[in-house]
C-alpha cells in the first residue's frame, strides 16, 4: 500500500511502506505497563480501530506487561493484514518492581527475538529496535556486541530490518557501521528537543526518526504557548503537538499511545491540523 488518507502520508522503512501516523501499544498494558489491562476488550478494540483507520505501523515490545501487549496485538489482529507492520524492541526486561533493567547480552537478545516471534505469531519480525540506555535516557558506550547479535539474527532471516532506541548520535553511527539502520526511536516532543540535530542528520540520510512520548508520555505536555496556539485553532494541545511533529521533518513517524478508541480517533484528526508559519514560530520557541 503506498497511499493513505491518514495525515502525513507514508514513509518507507527499508522495503516496508508504513503510514507516518502509527500507533504505540505500550498504554494497553496495565498500570505502570505491568500486567493485563483493566479492560481487555477495550484494548482489542483500540488495536482493531487503528487498523480500520488505515494505520500500518504498530509499535510494541515484549517488555510491555511483560508479554501483554504482544498477546493483545496477536489476539486482535492475527492473521495480520499484509500492509500492517509491527515494530518491536528488545534490550530491556522487567523486574518485579516494574523497573526496566537492560537485557542486552547476546543470549538475552536471541531469547527476546524468539519470544517476540512466538508471542506475535510471526515467522519473521519486520523491524526490531535495540533499546539502549536506561529509564533516565541514552547512555554512552559501545553497542557493537548487542547490535552485532541482532545483525546476526537478521542474517539468519528472523528479522527484516533493524533500528536503535534510546540511543546517542554516536551509537547511531556505530550501529550503521554494523548493519543498515532504518529508524531511530528516541524521546522527543514539542517540549523536549534534545535530538533536533540528529533528526536533521537522519532526514538527510533517509532514516526515519520515531519520537516516543510524542504527547509527553506519562506527564502530558503542558505549556502556555502550546495552549495559546491550541485555543486559537480551536484544537487540543495533543492535536497541535502531533501536527507539529509531522511538520517538523518528513522522516518523523508518529506512534502516539492511547488506550481509548475516542482518543485514537481524535489523534488521527488532530495530526492533520493545519499550522500556519505564525503558529510554527510560536511553537518553535517552546522547546528551545
Ligand atoms: N523506546 C522506548 O524506550 C519507549 C519508551 C516509551 C514509549 N515508547 C513507545 O512510544 C509510544 C508512545 O509513547 P506513550 O504512549 O508512552 O506516550 P504518549 O504517546 O506521549 O502519550 C500517551 C498518553 O497520552 C494520553 N492520550 C493520548 N491521546 C490522547 C488524547 N487525544 N486526549 C487525551 N489524552 C490522550 C494517553 O492516555 P489514554 O490512554 O487515556 O488515551 C496516555 O496517557 C508507546 O506506546 C511505546 O510504543 C518507547
pLDDT given for residue 287 in this prediction: 86
pLDDT given for residue 264 in this prediction: 98
Q: Nearest residue CA, atom 21 of ligand 1?
A: 217
* Percentage of the chain lying above the pLDDT 90 cut: 97
**Cβ pair 33, 65 in contact under 8 A:** yes
CA of 50 to the centre of ligand 1 (A): 14
CA of 257 to the centre of ligand 1 (A): 3
For the chain, what's the residue count? 288
The span from the CA of 91 to the CA of 72, in Å, is: 21
The span from the CA of 17 to the CA of 178, in Å, is: 23
Per DSSP, the chain holds a count of helices (H) and strands (E) of: 10, 9
Average pLDDT of the residues in 24-32:
97
Task: State whether the beta carbon of 209 lies less than 6 angstroms from ligand 1.
Answer: no
pLDDT band at 1 (very low <50, low <70, confident <90, very high): very low
Question: 157-188 pLDDT, tens per residue?
Answer: 999 999 999 999 999 999 999 999 999 999 99
Average pLDDT of the residues in 31-59:
98
Whole-model pTM?
A: 0.98
**Cβ pair 39, 50 in contact under 8 A:** no
| Residue 2 reports pLDDT greater than 70 | no
- Nine-digit cell string for 147: 547490535
Question: 212-255 pLDDT, tens per residue?
Answer: 999 999 999 999 999 999 999 999 999 999 999 999 999 999 99
Task: State whether the beta carbon of 259 lies less than 6 angstroms from ligand 1.
Answer: yes
The span from the CA of 119 to the CA of 130, in Å, is: 18
Amino acid at each position: 500500500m503506498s497511499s493513505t488518507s491518514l495525515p502525513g502520508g507514508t514513509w518507507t522503512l527499508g522495503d516496508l511502506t508504513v503510514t507516518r501516523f502509527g500507533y504505540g501499544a505500550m498504554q494497553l498494558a496495565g498500570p505502570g505497563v505491568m500486567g493485563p489491562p483493566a479492560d481487555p476488550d477495550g484494548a482489542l478494540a483500540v488495536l482493531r480501530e487503528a487498523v480500520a483507520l488505515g494505520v500500518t505501523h504498530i509499535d510494541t515490545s515484549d517488555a510491555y506487561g511483560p508479554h501483554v501487549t504482544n498477546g493483545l496485538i496477536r489476539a486482535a489482529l492475527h492473521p495480520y493484514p499484509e500492509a500492517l507492520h509491527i515494530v518491536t524492541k528488545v534490550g530491556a526486561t522487567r523486574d518485579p518492581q516494574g523497573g526496566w533493567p537492560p537485557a542486552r547480552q547476546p543470549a538475552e537478545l536471541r531469547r527476546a527475538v524468539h519470544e517476540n516471534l512466538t508471542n506475535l505469531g510471526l515467522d519473521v519480525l519486520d523491524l526490531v529496535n535495540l533499546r539502549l540506555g536506561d529509564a533516565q535516557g541514552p547512555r554512552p558506550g559501545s553497542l557493537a556486541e548487542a547490535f552485532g547479535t541482532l545483525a546476526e539474527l537478521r542474517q539468519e532471516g528472523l528479522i527484516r530490518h533493524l533500528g536503535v532506541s534510546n540511543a546517542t548520535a554516536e551509537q547511531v553511527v556505530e550501529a550503521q557501521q554494523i548493519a543498515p539502520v532504518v529508524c531511530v526511536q528516541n524521546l522527543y516532543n514539542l517540549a523536549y528537543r534534545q535530538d533536533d540535530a540528529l533528526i536533521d542528520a537522519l532526514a538527510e540520510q533517509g532514516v526515519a526518526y520515531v519520537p516516543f512520548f510524542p504527547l509527553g508520555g506519562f506527564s502530558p505536555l503542558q505549556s502556555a504557548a502550546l495552549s495559546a496556539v491550541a485555543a486559537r485553532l480551536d484544537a487540543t494541545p495533543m492535536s497541535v503537538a502531533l501536527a507539529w511533529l509531522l511538520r517538523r521533518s518528513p522522516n518523523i513517524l508518529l506512534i502516539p499511545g492511547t488506550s481509548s478508541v475516542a482518543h485514537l480517533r481524535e489523534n488521527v484528526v488532530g495530526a492533520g491540523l493545519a499550522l500556519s508559519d505564525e503558529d510554527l514560530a510560536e511553537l518553535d520557541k517552546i522547546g528551545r
